[in-house]
Structure 1
Amino acid sequence: MAITLRSVLLVSAVICAVSAKTQKDPGSAAAPKGHNSLTVGILGDFGWSGWSPANTYFCNEVAPVLTAKNITIPRELQNDCDAGDRAAAQNASAAQVSTASYIKNICTMKNCSAFISVGDNFYDSGVGFTTTGVNRFQETWVDMYSQGIYENATWYQCLGNHDIVYGQAGVDFETKIAPLYDDRWYFGTEGLPYYTYDIVGQDWTATFVVVDSDCFIEKYQKSSSVYQNGYTTSCYKEKQTQVDFVTQAFAKSTADWKFLQIHHGFLSSSTNYTELWPLVSVAEKHNGIVLNGHDHCAAHYVGNKTNFVLSGAAGYPEAGDCNNGVSLGSFVKFLGADAAGAGNGFVTLDISSKELVFEYYIRDMEYEGGDLYPVKDDTKPSYSFTVKDKAK
């Protein structure tokens, strides 16, 4: 986790290259303080635009030959050959563009002060400090979320599994380089993939604790996994460091509201990552709320009186991740999907000293000749819930 000489040189190079607007201390941006109430947008799994998958000839014809010859294919190239993601790339990019515009409109109406990411910021294989990586960061995030309400809003970031395919180099780009490239992109002040921050109102405080849940997923340690690399191997061995960080951050905070911000879902309609319990148990102990993405849809789950907010619908929606809208048990309170498809959208969080109000905005995905996910009035929330019990 230490900052190496190479990292320092890379950061210095970026500082020399960026405009005066971005030559600020990392983390200088922040949500406004002192408001009686404040609204933030929660979104994840959005970074598809600008991704060019590996060509089909290489993936289908050349890659098997290389594998048979025991030639190692880089993880990011393996991931860029994922057949399902290749097939989805064009529609997913279009969905991100449309949903980014939709989120802007809703957040303009609600006056969102900041945005909270729950990871998978760059498909299919993250970004590194390369020409391709810098160009994708510019196209997929800087240009995509730069107008209107986006222009001055801080984005409190989080890593997802697609962000760590490049390994340490990809993690370093998002945690160390990106905040210097554009100071709206916030990743703490230490350049680490885990950090904590407070959003402060007139008479309330909300503490958010961010963790890289990739470090806890056991199947990512298998040699066959495209997410198995030096970074995931190391942080898996040291995952207790992040557990201790969460434990101390929650215990130290005297905030009215406390949140655990991660990528993978502990409760899900698709895959329950039970290995995240050491983190979730801390949030549960403090009456905290868990924010996550990973599943490409929106949902609300409640387990053992803990609220789990899934907001992974800002890019490419996948109905199966929300079980095609069919609840599997009493813990499922809302699924932003039906038998035909899932809806793109995001979640807004209104914070005050009195309560938290979560509103799920799902856009009407009408197109010429059909409607992928009909919503009667997508300027109004499809679902909402309120939390009044404060953190411990």
Structure 2
Amino acid sequence: MPTLLRSILTLSALTVAYGKPQTGQGPVLAPTGLKKLTVGVLGDFGWTGWEPANEHFCNNVMPVLQAQNLTIPRSVQNDCDAGDRSYLINATALQESTATYIADVCANKDCKAFLSVGDNFYDSGVDFTTTGINRFQEAWVDMYSQGVFENAPWYQCLGNHDIVYGQSGVDFETKIAPLYDDRWYFGTQKLPYYTYDFVGADWTATFVVVDSDCFINSYQKDSSVYKNPYTTACHKTTQTQVDFLAKAFSESKADWKFLQLHHGYMSSSGNYTELDPLISIVKNHNGIVLNGHDHCTAHYYNNNTNFVLSGGAGYPQAGDCNNGVSLGPFTKFLGANSQAAANGFVTLDITADELVFEYYLRDMKFDGGDLFPVKNDMKPQYSFTVSEHAK
């Protein structure tokens, strides 16, 4: 029996024996037949439990090793990122507070599922090691287990921080995690790209998830911590995912069609134009793009296409939303001001007649101040409606 399969079966048996969370019973899926289905869209949130490499190693030892032409694992290099290390304490606290906030909002709105737009685990993802298992438990299973989270499925997506370990990290999130916790969903084939449908009483919505990491040219540079055999290989076969999206959208008769991925084609900090083959398909089908990567929330509208950014569930960064300053008429909303970006997420209400997107931003109070004042953060701070159906 292959080692990976044996490990998965053993893990499944153990977690079922312990009984919580229940595993190996088949995936938890969103309910069908509802007149209205509400889901939460969020990303860039997995800071809790990350322990970066120590400062002495990063600042003093690693440069010596590099000078001796010794290979430093890219995951170690990433865990030495000075900026991310400086964010860690605040990012962990903000993730915890925002998780509670999302639970409260979604309890009021009766969210039935959650859609991830990637970067599920900072700083270097998770893999099938003791450290990876413990991080998955702490940063996701325990973090999102109470109240409305308890029985809601999560339709997952990979981001750049999820692929630092390469194939082993991808395999953990796509193959092992769904057996660890039945709420974690990664399609029926357990690939980094997949499609799923939500089926209502009188409507259907098709979602296609892709791994946008494969499309990013800068990740192919030798200096990039995201270059590894996985990204090198899938960069050569991006047409596979383009064809997958085209086929899924063409064969779908759904009322609504969505592309769910991590990187932003429209952004206030950096556009990834390499994604154009995917976006062209979305435009042709009158679809909608859901993405993360930028650590804030925003709404862009360009070429008759809506782009929904929901990357504010972990550590927000005002610069990613240009400090709240619109760059052009395509920018409809930015969840940031001159000082800060807001923690928050987006809810999506799906009915036969329309889609309603609501942006919820948390009042970020702390001792001695308020990072992002919101008068009533249980109400949406921005919303928009789509009534034109997919093609």
- TM-score between both structures, scaled by the size of structure 1: 0.98
The residue number in structure 2 matching 1:156 is 155
Q: Which secondary structure does the structure 2 equivalent of 1:112 belong to?
A: coil
Question: How many angstroms does 1:15 deviate by?
Answer: 1.6
Indicate the residue corresponding to 1:199 in structure 2.
Answer: 198
Match of 1:345 in 2: 344
State the match for 2:118 in structure 1: 119
Q: CA deviation at 1:24?
A: 2.5
Preserved CA contact (<8 Å) 2:16 2:24: no
Aligned to 2:5: 8
- Please report how far the alpha carbon of residue 18 of structure 1 lies from its aligned counterpart in structure 2 after TM superposition: 1.1
Counterpart of 2:24 in structure 1: which amino acid? Answer: K
Q: Any idea what SS the aligned residue of 1:209 has?
A: strand
2:37 is the alignment partner of 1:38: yes
Give the corresponding residue for 1:245: 244
Deviation, structure 1 residue 12: 1.9
Amino acid at match of 1:297: C
Is 1:23 aligned to 2:23, yes or no? yes
Cα deviation, 1:154-201, whole Å, max 9, x if unaligned, reads 000000000000000000000000000000000001110000000110
Task: Classify the secondary structure of the residue corresponding to 2:112.
Answer: strand
Q: How does 1:1-392 map to 2 (within 5 A)?
A: 5-20=2-17, 21=19, 22-26=22-26, 28-392=27-391
Task: Report deviation, 1:10.
Answer: 2.6
Which ranges of 4 or more aligned residues in structure 1 deviate by more than 6 Å? none
Partner Cα distance (1:264, 1:254) in 2: 27
Matched residues in 2 for 1:165 and 1:125: separation? 5
User: How far, CA to CA, are the matches of 2:47 and 2:185 in structure 1?
Assistant: 20
Question: Aligned AA for 1:9?
Answer: R
CA contact (8 A) 2:12 2:24 kept: no
Paired residue type of 1:383: Y
State the distance in 2 between where 1:111 and 1:333 align.
27
What is the one-letter code of the residue matched to 1:23? T
Aligned-residue offset at 1:215? 0.2
How far, CA to CA, are the matches of 1:376 and 1:191 in structure 2? 43
| CA deviation after TM superposition for structure 1 residue 275, in Å | 0.2
Distance 1:19 1:244 in 2: 38
Could you report, residue by residue, the CA deviation over 1:190-238 in whole angstroms, capped at 9, with x for unpaired residues?
1100000001100000000000000000000001000000000000011
Q: Which amino acid aligns with 1:273?
A: Y
Could you report, residue by residue, the CA deviation over 1:257-297 in whole angstroms, capped at 9, with x for unpaired residues?
00000000000001100000011111110000000000000
Unaligned runs of 5+ in 2: none
Shift in Å at residue 25 of structure 1?
A: 4.7
Which amino acid in 1 is paired with 2:355?
A: L
Segments of structure 1 that go 5 or more residues without pairing to the other structure are none
In structure 2, what is the Cα distance between the partners aligned to 1:344 and 1:90? 15
After superposition, give the CA deviation of every residue in 1:298-326 in whole Å (9 maximum; x if it has no partner). 00000111000000000000000000000
Tell me the TM-score normalized by structure 2.
Answer: 0.98
Whole-angstrom distance in 2 between the partners of 1:187 and 1:377 = 35
Q: Aligned partners of 2:332 and 2:298: how far apart in 1?
A: 7
Q: Which amino acid letter does the alignment assign opposite residue 254 of structure 2?
A: A
d(CA) in 2 for partners of 1:241, 1:305:
26
Distance 2:322 2:264 in 1: 14
Cα distance in 2 between the residues matched to 1:79 and 1:254: 43
Partner AA of 1:282 in structure 2:
I
Q: When the two structures are aligned, how many residues end up with a matched partner?
A: 388
SS in structure 2 opposite 1:233? helix
